[in-house]
Amino acid sequence: MLHLDTGNTAFMILCTSLVMLMTPGLAFFYGGLVGRKNVLAIMIQSFVSMGWTTVIWYLYGYSLCFSGDWHGVIGNLNNACLRGIGLNTPAPGNETIPAMVFIAFQMMFAIITPALISGAFTNRVTFKAYMLFLTAWLTFVYFPFVHMVWGGGVLQQWGVKDFAGGIVVHNIAGMAALASILYVGKRRVADRGPHSIPLVALGTGLLWFGWYGFNAGSQMRADSVTTTAFINTDIAASFAAISWLMVAWITERKPKFLGLLTGAVAGLATVTPAAGYVSPSTAAIIGLVAGVVCYFAVEMKNKLHWDDALDVWGVHGVGGALGMMMLGIFANKAFNPEGPNGLLHGDSLFLIKQTIAVAFSSIWAFTFTYAMLRIIDLFTTVKVSEASEEIGLDESLHGEHAYEDVFGMEEHAPAASLMARPK
C-alpha cells in the first residue's frame, strides 16, 4: 500500500528529469566528437532511443525487469503495458513514492544505456540495423541485468551491489561496444573529428548535471545517503578530470580541453556503482584512479588498433568494471548502514563477489552483442557501404545536413579516437 511522501516523490520526479536530460547531453557530446558529415547520424541514435526505448519499456521492458522472476535471470510479463499498476501502487522497495515515478526513473536509465554504445561504431552502422540492435540488446542484455542486479534476481540475492549502474549501465555498454567494433571492423573512410569541442563541452556539462539525478536519485528517497551520493558524484568527476588532464599534459605535452572533458565522464562512470556506499574521501580516490586507468585503457586500445571511435570501452566499460571492484575494496557501512563493508572494512568475500559479477556481465554482454549482430546481418546489412562513409551518413542515410556548407568545408583534424588527437 502506498504511504505517499510528497517530498520523496517530488525529489524523484526531479531526478527522473535530470536523468532524461543526460541522453540529449550524450547526443551533443558524441555529435561534437565526429566530423561535420556525420553529426546528425550519431545524434539521432541517442534521440531515437528516447522514443523507441520508451515504447519497449511500456510494452514489456519494465515488466521483464521488475515483475516476477524466472530462475533469477529475468522477470515475467505480469506488468506488460503497465497492467496492474495504479495510483496507489507503491514503488518496489519504497512505499513512500508511487510506482509510476519509479517506472519513469528506471526508464531513463534504459534509454541512455544502449545510446552509450553507439559512440563506438559511429559512421559504420546502418540505421535499420541500429534499430534492430537497440531492440535486441535491450531485451537480451540490458533487461536481464536490471533484473539480476536490481529486480530481485540472482546477483542481487547473492549480495552483489551496484548503486546506480556500474554493471547495469556502464560495464555492459562498454563490453557491447567492444564486441560491436570487433564485428563491424574499422572505418574505411577517415572521419575528421572532433569537429566541435565546444559541442562536446556542452554535452559534458549536461551529462555532469544530469548525473546528480542519476546517482543521488538511485537512493530512491531524499536522506543522508542521498546527499553523500550527490557530493561523491561531483568529487569523483572533478578528481578524474584533473588526473586525466595531468596525465595527458605529461604524455602529450599540452593540457587538452578534450582530455579534461573525457576525464570527467570517466570519473562519473567509475563512481556510479559506489556513489551511495563510500565516503567522499574514497570518491576522491576513485576519481583519481579512474582518470589515470581510463586514460591508459584508451591508449592501449589505440595500440591494439581497435576502432572504438569515441572510446566507449575505455571510458564506460573499464570505468564501470573499475568502480565495481573499488566498491568491493572501499565500501563502508558508516556511510550507508544498509550497504556492505568492503575489503578494507573486513569483508574480503564482497570483493570476490563484485569481481565475479563483473567477469560474468562482461562475458554475457560481449557474447550476446556479437551474436546478435551476426544474426541481424542475416536480415539486413549492418555495416554501411564505403560510398556511404565517403558521402557521410548524414546525407547517405538521412538526407539531412547539420551544416549547410558541410561539403565545402575542409576538415583539418586527423581521424582518430579521443586519444589520438594532434599533439
Assess contact for 139 and 318: CB atoms under 8 A.
no
The answer to whether residues 273 and 161 touch, using CB atoms and an 8 Å cutoff, is: yes
Nearest to 12 by CA among 156, 223, 188, 206: 223
Rounded CA Rg of the chain: 20
Q: DSSP assignment, residue 377?
A: H
Q: Over the stretch 55-74, which tens digit does the pLDDT of each residue have?
A: 999 999 999 999 999 999 99
Coil/strand/helix, residue 405 = coil
Residue 110 to residue 65: CA distance in whole angstroms: 11
Which candidate, 33, 67, 72, 129, places its Cα nearest to that of 360?
72
Q: What is the DSSP string of 1-46?
A: -----HHHHHHHHHHHHHHHHHHHHHHHHHHHHS-TTSHHHHHHHH
Distance of CA 291 to the CA centre of its chain: 17
Q: Dump pLDDT digits (tens) for 125-145.
A: 999 999 999 999 999 999 999
335-349: pLDDT as tens digits: 999 999 999 999 999
The CATH code of domain 6-398 reads: 1.10.3430.10
For residue 236, the cross-strand partners are: none
Q: What is the pLDDT of residue 32?
A: 95
Q: How would DSSP label each residue in 87-129?
A: TTPEETTEEEEEHHHHHHHHHHHHHHHHHHHTTTSTTTB-HHH
Residue 153 contacts residue 364 (beta carbons within 8 Å)? no
pLDDT digits (tens, 9 = 90+) for 13-23: 999 999 999 99
**CA nearest to 339, candidates 127, 174, 160:** 160
Please indicate, yes or no, whether the overall pTM of this predicted structure exceeds 0.85.
yes
Share of the chain above pLDDT 70, in %: 96
